[in-house]
Amino acid sequence: MKRILTAVVLVPVVVFVALAAPQWLFLAALSAVALVCFHEYDKIVAAHGILSAGPAAYAAGLVLLLAPRADLPLVTVLALILLTLGMHLDDLAKGLPRAAAAMLGVIYIFGAWRCGALLRAISPHWLIFGMAVNWVGDMAAYYVGSTMGRHRLAPRVSPKKSWEGAAGSVVAGVLFGVAYLRWAIPSVPMWEAAALATAVNVAGQIGDLAESAIKRGAGVKDSSNLLPGHGGWLDRVDSTLFGLPALYFLLARPW
């Protein structure tokens, strides 16, 4: 029940911010969520025995998220700054793991939300599509897996996930994605909508497993208890953090 009530409160707020909020409010909300996610990630990293990232990593994340341009030279400079700061630790053996974990978190969280902002700049509906395909898929995976799941998907990482649930997630995500784009962006061919929804859903499921692996390695069940029934913000958006970059990559076609 807590899971459902939390979703009932959050979903309308997220949809409003993504579709209708002015740009300053959208970026403020995006920054707040990213900072909370990074804080939760940082606590998981600490449970691995790696030093906390420190204020510089939070600042680097906001730069990556909000800078007018965030291409490879900027990412390189941020990585070098974090590596340089690691040289000032009393225990030099801890400098490289700290800098590496911090930079990974900056790209993983702030970089992914940057892709969300770029999707909204193309069309707010692409941002909703990128998030909702995984929302719908997560719900389908839960119900299909709990009723029909027989074959474990990744027992070492997430024992409750099943191949049946994963398949249900893909089917539900594709059906929703095609229907949504037919309504919101009808110029997108149906086959392309289905292909994009499949890619976003599969990437999201990998993201879910990736966060589960990080937590299991640290002996942590949830990233926090901020969202009743869901755990923490990072637990709630782990699929989104993989799905949005995958969608932007396919739409931007850098090749």
Q: List, for the chain, all residue ranges whose pLDDT scores fall below the cut of 70.
A: 1-4, 229-230
Q: Convert the pLDDT of each residue in 15-52 to its tens digit.
A: 999 999 999 999 999 999 999 999 999 999 999 999 99
Cα separation, 8 vs 5, in Å, equals 5
pLDDT at 1: 55
How far out from the chain centre does Cα 52 lie?
Answer: 21
pLDDT at 227: 76
What sign for the dihedral angle of Cα 162, 41, 198, 176?
positive
pLDDT at 229: 66
Cα separation, 95 vs 62, in Å, equals 22
What sign for the dihedral angle of Cα 58, 59, 60, 62?
positive
pLDDT at 28: 98
Label the pairing between strands 158-162 and 152-154.
antiparallel
pLDDT at 159: 84
First to last CA, the chain: 45
Number of H helices, E strands in the chain: 11, 2
